[in-house]
Amino acid sequence: MTSPAPAHATAKPGPRHDLVLRGERVLLPDGFAPAEVAVADGVIAQVAPLGAGLPGARTVDLDPDEVLLPGLVDSHVHVNEPGRTDWEGFASATRAAAAGGVTTIVDMPLNSVPPTTDVAALEVKQERARAAAYVDVGFWGGAVPGNTGQLRPLHEAGVFGFKCFLIDSGVPEFGHLEPEELERDLRELAALDALMIVHAEDPRVVAGAPHPHGPRYADFLASRPAGAEAAAIATVIEAARRTGARAHILHLSDAGALPLIAAARAEGVRLTVETCPHYLTLAAEQVPDGATAFKCCPPIRDEGNRDRLWQGLAEGTIDIVVTDHSPSTVDLKALDTGDFGEAWGGVASLQLGLAAVWSEARRRGVPLADVVRWMSTGPAALVGLERKGAIAVGRHADLAVFAPEEEFVVDPTRLHHKNPITPYAGRRLNGVVRSTLLRGRAITDVPHGTLLRRGEA
């Protein structure tokens, strides 16, 4: 990417913009095209065919191997600050996001202490993020036993929706909802037209499965059977059907649930679904015994299941792809014992999500434009960020300069994640983010992210 002198003899008369980017491959809403993108006051002011000579105080010409993408929107990120900031934090998480082409994250209400289950806790998070965020940050609220009365105040305070678990969350301060509690909270959210996002695994099915222990991944996989997801998703569908509320299934790993989801949507149930890079790029057959960096819940399943998840994306049953960046300290991953029963479950991949998904998509012949739709346009629409997720006039100038063919090998020590552990370690990936712009400004060493509120972004 080159930045020539500001003056251009070919520039036509007209308003002088702060920045003009030019490239042979710019991803516009209708697909890739040679284009010029003009930015003024942090907003895309004009898009014109390449050669139009839009005038700018500064101009950037993309190199031949680069494409210009809208910044990604990752609506599933565990920042963990405050309370567990040694796991991650707003500074480290948002720097990792920027390095991976992500310009907006929405923070999960756990594993911070306190969790975001009331307005006071939300304000603590906002204060921590305000001075540290390198990208724009929004927040989910939490729905836990006993806080139904807090949902409306949190909604009015600007959270983008509410997360609940139907199974033990893994942290004692964020309890899970029983089916009757889920339905009660959905009725409250239906009155607000607010979104409930659900970790859908059924505790009764899991309780009947073998207890995970030892280093064999097959034993851990058996402890979180696919039937647990299907049963919990059926519970969500029934509750959404009865209440008319909007519900969203988090981190779908079981492709066997796709027909159930498709049937519910066909009858008008207000249901959306996400999956994650690790479910689309990794497979149980590839997980070595003792490799606890791969542990997450629900688990990474077999290759055939992975193929069916890709089919679900192609058919539109799965709406979006987000990372579920769920880091921890290295010691919690039990690397010394390799015991899947002891290890914390979570995959840290915020910086690697785009490259991981694009590498697998490229292998399968899936266009980059589809990947961006799943990882930028779709998540922005899910949470109501109307000025994110596309290169179009009036949208925020959140942009990523991406070299889709360049290869790199993942070195955990070179990631911005606070703890250097990832199942992608040593993996060769395609796609390098060479520059990320937030509202037209390159993200460098000075945080300038904005805190987002529902209805104002």
Nearest to 26 by CA among 295, 311, 401: 401
Residue-wise DSSP of 407-429: EEE--GGGSSSSS---TTTT-EE
Under the banding of pLDDT at 50, 70 and 90, the label for residue 444 is: confident
- pLDDT recorded at residue 14: 59
Res. 6: pLDDT tops 90: no
Same domain, 195 and 96: yes
Distance in angstroms (rounded) separating the CA atoms of residues 83 and 46? 44
Same domain, 274 and 359: yes
Model confidence over 155-177: pLDDT tens digits?
999 999 999 999 999 999 999 99
Model confidence over 381-392: pLDDT tens digits?
999 999 999 999
Sequence-separated (6 or more) residues with CB below 8 Å from residue 390:
28, 29, 70, 376, 377, 380
Structure tokens belonging to residue 40: 């003024």
> Residue 131 domain-assigned?
yes
Res. 9: pLDDT tops 50: no
- pLDDT recorded at residue 447: 87
Distance in angstroms (rounded) separating the CA atoms of residues 92 and 102? 13
Under the banding of pLDDT at 50, 70 and 90, the label for residue 457 is: low
Total tally of structural domains belonging to the chain: 2
Q: How far apart are the two ends of the chain, measured CA to CA in Å? A: 30
Same domain, 49 and 87: no
Under the banding of pLDDT at 50, 70 and 90, the label for residue 227 is: very high
Nearest to 297 by CA among 200, 197, 379, 230: 200
Distance in angstroms (rounded) separating the CA atoms of residues 137 and 103? 9
> Residue 454 domain-assigned?
no
Res. 153: pLDDT tops 60: yes
The average pLDDT across 274-301 equals 98
Distance in angstroms (rounded) separating the CA atoms of residues 176 and 240? 17
- pLDDT recorded at residue 1: 73
Same domain, 54 and 193: no
Distance in angstroms (rounded) separating the CA atoms of residues 215 and 102? 34
Distance in angstroms (rounded) separating the CA atoms of residues 412 and 350? 12
Under the banding of pLDDT at 50, 70 and 90, the label for residue 2 is: low
188 in the Ramachandran plot: left (φ > 0), alpha (ψ -120 to 50) or beta? Answer: alpha
> Residue 452 domain-assigned?
no
Q: Are 412 and 420 in contact (CB under 8 A)?
A: yes
Same domain, 221 and 307: yes
- pLDDT recorded at residue 274: 99
- pLDDT recorded at residue 11: 42
Model confidence over 395-405: pLDDT tens digits?
999 999 999 99
Sequence-separated (6 or more) residues with CB below 8 Å from residue 7:
none
Under the banding of pLDDT at 50, 70 and 90, the label for residue 8 is: very low
Distance in angstroms (rounded) separating the CA atoms of residues 197 and 247? 6
Nearest to 142 by CA among 184, 187, 183, 185: 185
- pLDDT recorded at residue 255: 98
Q: Are 38 and 16 in contact (CB under 8 A)?
A: no
- 203 or 4: whose pLDDT is higher? 203
Q: Are 246 and 193 in contact (CB under 8 A)?
A: yes
Q: Which domain holds residue 52?
A: 19-64
* Mean pLDDT over the full length of the chain: 96
The average pLDDT across 23-37 equals 98
- pLDDT recorded at residue 7: 32
> Residue 107 domain-assigned?
yes
Q: Domain of 381: which CATH number?
A: 3.20.20.140
Model confidence over 69-97: pLDDT tens digits?
999 999 999 999 999 999 999 999 999 99
> Residue 346 domain-assigned?
yes
- pLDDT recorded at residue 10: 41
Sequence-separated (6 or more) residues with CB below 8 Å from residue 404:
65, 67, 358, 362, 368, 430, 431
Under the banding of pLDDT at 50, 70 and 90, the label for residue 222 is: very high
Distance in angstroms (rounded) separating the CA atoms of residues 425 and 431? 16
Residue-wise DSSP of 243-271: H--EEEE-S---GGGHHHHHHHHHTT--E
DSSP lists the bridge partners of residue 139 as 107
Same domain, 54 and 82: no
Q: How do 72-77 and 102-107 pair as beta strands?
A: parallel
Res. 456: pLDDT tops 80: no
Distance in angstroms (rounded) separating the CA atoms of residues 368 and 292? 31
The one-character DSSP state at 57 is S
Q: What phi and psi, each to the nearest 5 degrees, are found at residue 445?
A: -105, 5
- pLDDT recorded at residue 4: 42
Under the banding of pLDDT at 50, 70 and 90, the label for residue 446 is: confident
Same domain, 128 and 268: yes
Q: Are 341 and 211 in contact (CB under 8 A)?
A: yes
- pLDDT recorded at residue 455: 84
Domain final position from 10, 40, 64: 64
Same domain, 77 and 116: yes
Nearest to 277 by CA among 341, 332, 329, 351: 351
Structure tokens belonging to residue 156: 């009015």
- Which helix (H) or strand (E) segment holds residue 103: the answer is strand 102-107
Res. 12: pLDDT tops 60: no
Same domain, 113 and 203: yes
The average pLDDT across 405-423 equals 97
